[in-house]
Amino acid sequence: MQRQILAAYDSEGIFVYQGFKPSIAEEALRKGTFGKGFNLERMTWIKPSFGWMLYRSGYATKHRQESILKIKLTHEGFQEILKQAIPTLFDRDIFESEREWKRSLDNSEVRYQWDPDRDLSLRRLEHRALQLGIRGSVVHNYVNTWILDIEEVTELACDIKNAVKNQMIKLPKVPEERVYRVSQ
């Protein structure tokens, strides 16, 4: 399966998605960043793929994922997250030993995994979707420095679910995702 970061982005930043319980989403929308209810001390996962977010949240129906936020991050912040990322699974092309990988993973504030991406009908695609888990100082930078904008897309998720359920030929319009270039 192909592994490229597919995401919606513009000249200012890249869009990632997260699912939350409504009170956390409401506070984030009010503040323009995360606040009350968002735990800065635990790992949080960001997803550049909207299809994967729809799948992961069950179209915003799963417990504590009833609200989906579209978060615009600075390119610099996203690139910094990528630079620090360690895979959640051992990869001998990156690490000489499982012990070295495990030590790196335990000490890292960022981890990543590639999951089968999904289309808007939640069907498995032939390419992988990236998920990034962030914690520690990276979460603090995410919340306090890198977020440019937050928008709720829960209604869009519900509209897509209804269109799929009713076998509508035309689905609601979603942001175009294209290959995101990673700086070295």
The per-residue pLDDT for range 71-85, each reduced to its tens digit, is 999 999 999 999 999
CB 156 within 8 A of CB 76: no
Bridge partners, residue 69, by sequence: 18, 152
Q: What average pLDDT score do residues 154-164 get?
A: 98
Q: How many structural domains is the chain composed of?
A: 1
- Asked if the structure places residue 108 within a domain, the reply is yes
pLDDT of amino acid 174:
96
How many distinct helices (H) and strands (E) make up the chain? 6, 9
Range of the domain at 94: 6-179
Rounded to whole angstroms, the Cα distance separating 123 from 57 reads: 14
Q: Within a domain: residue 45?
A: yes
Q: Mean pLDDT throughout 16-21? A: 98
| Mean pLDDT value across residues 146-171 | 97
Q: What is the pLDDT of residues 25-62, one digit of tens each?
A: 999 999 999 999 999 999 999 999 999 999 999 999 99
**pLDDT for res 1:** 56
Nearest to 127 by CA among 114, 141, 138: 114
**Per the domain annotation, does 1 fall within a domain?**
no
H/E element, 184: none
Does some domain include residue 62? yes
Instruction: Please compute the mean of the pLDDT values over residues 14-20 and round it to a whole number.
Output: 98
CA dist 82 and 134 (Å) reads 10
Tell me the pLDDT tens digit for each residue of 94-139.
999 999 999 999 999 999 999 999 999 999 999 999 999 999 999 9
Rounded-to-integer distance, Cα 160 and Cα 154, Å:
10
Both tokens assigned to 44? 């949080």
